[in-house]
Amino acid sequence: MKRRLLLLLPLVGFLVLGGFLYQGLSMNPFDRDSALMADPFPSFALTTLEDPSRTVDESLLAGEVTLVNVWGEWCPTCKQEMPQLLDLADRGVRLVGVDYKDTREKGRAFLAEFGNPFEVNVFDPDGDLGFELGVYGAPETFLVDPEGVIRYHHTGYIKPEDVTQVILPEVEKWRD
């Protein structure tokens, strides 16, 4: 009897493997944590989209929970995401934009057309800050705590239901 049960071993192995593979089918390969999680926001020195003579750095993010949204005029999903960002700004969340691989004219035209939820926009025409952040597409959103540490990362589009279900709870969590 014992020997008979041993014959089932390959079947068990197959089922375990099958279970893993089945789970893989419904996994989104873009749902992976940022490598910078729990790291300080990378240092940078860039001008703002609004004012080419004003240079800002990472100290911009200190003192308050801030959502840093990486966007670009060339990015269609960013347009769809704007209503959600405006909603978040209305609910009192501080937002800072990173205009990624864009030109000043196009970036400004984008904000004029779709609204501007950002306190300020960091202008990153060469994508250098984006690279330091490990951004590989837009939009991407980082939550930075009052100490300037990255606490949450959202790859891709923030859906309307994400505003109250995901983003706001995360913001609350890191407000002292």
Question: Contact positions toward another protein, by CB under 8 A?
Answer: 29, 32-36, 101, 127, 131-137
Query: In whole angstroms, how close is the CB of 49 to another protein at the nearest point?
Result: 20
Query: In whole angstroms, how close is the CB of 36 to another protein at the nearest point?
Result: 7
Query: In whole angstroms, how close is the CB of 136 to another protein at the nearest point?
Result: 4
Distance between CA atoms of 46 and 55, rounded to whole angstroms? Answer: 5
Distance between CA atoms of 72 and 60, rounded to whole angstroms? Answer: 20
Distance between CA atoms of 25 and 28, rounded to whole angstroms? Answer: 8
Query: In whole angstroms, how close is the CB of 35 to another protein at the nearest point?
Result: 4
Distance between CA atoms of 123 and 120, rounded to whole angstroms? Answer: 10
Q: Which is nearer to another protein, 83 or 148 (CB)?
A: 148
Q: Which distant-in-sequence residues (6+ apart) come within 8 Å of 112 by Cβ?
A: none
CB atoms < 10 A from the CB of 129, how many?
22
Give yes or no for a cis peptide into 117 (omega within 30° of 0): no
Q: Which is nearer to another protein, 3 or 161 (CB)?
A: 3
Q: Which is nearer to another protein, 42 or 83 (CB)?
A: 42
Q: Which is nearer to another protein, 64 or 126 (CB)?
A: 126
